[in-house]
Chains A and B, each alone.
Chain A
């Protein structure tokens, strides 16, 4: 725990950026190396303010780019310390090379990623393009739906990443502006409780442990590379057990429950939306209203995007008749990632729901209660007829002619 304690109210009004900064502070991170970028800039600014006011015992390093930020994080983590950083969009894109290094070197770094569109055109607002860019990088990826969840799951992230059975970096995603710049009530933990929950850092093969010299980041060719990557994948797949355990421990401490697959209204749902981020919470309002009208609607989200909870999703979607997979990222010439993931999850199961792909919300375009209601009403028609109303993929909320692709 940092030597100087910050007194927090039981309920603070913080935006998602402050929630991430406070979780970093309470985690007593040894090194934060960062290069600010909108909309994650305040994560770094707030942290620098804490440091300037004496609340941070660790090091805060301003670097010259995001590539350098993640490189410094890799160095510090290999040296044997608890490490975190924050970024968004173009900054994340610049980090990508080093993200793969961090994962391959099994360094338990925590990244607060504030999701934003990727240029061009330049756009600072929220969508999931950057989250999708990093999905094969070997990081555990967790989606948050509100500032409270950013706080809670950033605390959990350290505990998951650093667990001796995991040692994989964790990326905590939140929606740019819709979460990062939206202030809401946050139930806080006091510094000691938060720090004790995470526990002390356990160094593994620390380079600064001169009694046991080690090498990090070695070269392996066809003799060992495959085994190395296979072990990395295996560790990622097995991390799910630890993720579930950490979520259970967090629930015991706070009463707030997190699951690898979050769902609402799915017990008897005939129509369902699959989506990430703040859209999940907005959809809960719509699900409640539709239930009052007698429509059995549900919303489901792979909170843990990687390792992908394929079996859990499949199990919860077995009795659904029509599903819309909503991707907030430009698919670049195919169906969206969630459509592919859900199709893949269901293909070896008996369920054959009508499955469609909606591209929405790019560059911060609003997803409203009214649009979500229309999407559910379309799903009801598809559930009744047992076939798609139109094409597999459509764009919702975009101006100009309708954009529809792929016939069933």
Chain B
């Protein structure tokens, strides 16, 4: 028997390390020292974390606290009785579910990239090896030619998971055909979408899969050096990668003459300072070279002239996590999963107004409805679904009418959004779509490198127009200006960041145009988000003139005689809500 404790960043923040410590203490105290406690990578079900899983009977405990350790050991480990209160409760029938595969959250998931996350100790190479780890690279180095590897990846139909969706095999092929004395393989771990943690979870939960895949990539294109560009804000992922690289070197899986094949390959880490634009591959390369992290036009593509001017293949973490299993199970296994043009699975960070927040991996072709209502468990507090944002700051907001669209690269683009790296934020009717667009624009404005005019100035102006609209000062001309400016930015910006930055604006304009009109024409925000458009009003019928509101107003905006109905001066009112809180007669409302 052994106990798996989630060591993802979310559960770690909820004291999962303390849970491990307490479990170990209790096991010792209760004489169960042969039972192992393993800190694993992310289980994905962050909503219900911290998570402890008891193996081999697959019991899935949720929302475990450090003080639960004693009971788990005494009841489950010793007596074999499940701790019912820590089991997941099905929201529908209120029944306890102990095996995760019967939970709504996991039922429709298919874990390929995340196959080892939550199952193995990421700091122990032996566990990775025991789960077929490094078998793929062994196969590649001893049985396959570089061309065969590239052919296999091409046949698998794998496309880049960083957002662009460029066919991975083709990318490798181009890099392999450019000859040079030195080539490089680069793993893009500069995950930067707000709220996204797909790549971080893979690196924290299964670092060896990325190391193995990069080695395969190196062999395929003829590169002997690998670099992982990872943001310094991911200390746990960096720590585990460092351990993993050290262990792989110790085992001879990195270094000279791997598996006696004569192939040399090693990996170094490069730290990013947390600029979103450095996820763009040319900017990433410049940052690694010690230059300012800003993109340059393509061509030349990195495959022709990349790091230090040498042919370089850049792939994202999740893309790499798929490689070993494709080699082992074969391209024909992988390409049966998914849709015609998008094969395999995609990891999403499911967030927002949804019951089951967490990290999910689903087969391509699954609908947004299945993700939101079955895996996600529907909208929080039974409110109405309004929109789902995919693709982060480069993506867009989709609406009710897109719920049955099968998720793949091309469908999402056709719907006005994009796959992106896997952010998925669900919104209910309390979200103001103009404000949402403004939020993403704010992010782009902050993260623009400033190199090209449309992104540096254009996005700033877009943001200012949105600000004007949410303040209630928007005009119909502003709406036209938004559209023209957004279109020009898309058409003229230098890199992918700039070219996609107006997408949140355009998709909300397209799908929620009436909300923009309301803000501009009626000066109303139906979601009640835009403070400037709200008005606090006292109902003279309900007001008894108790003066509580007037006494508590910090700006003296409320006037009225004792025992007479009070009035709010909307000019002075700062909409802080203090009056509503104090009113015992429900006389104050927001209009």
The judgment on whether A and B are partners is no
Mark B residues whose CB is within 8 Å of A: none
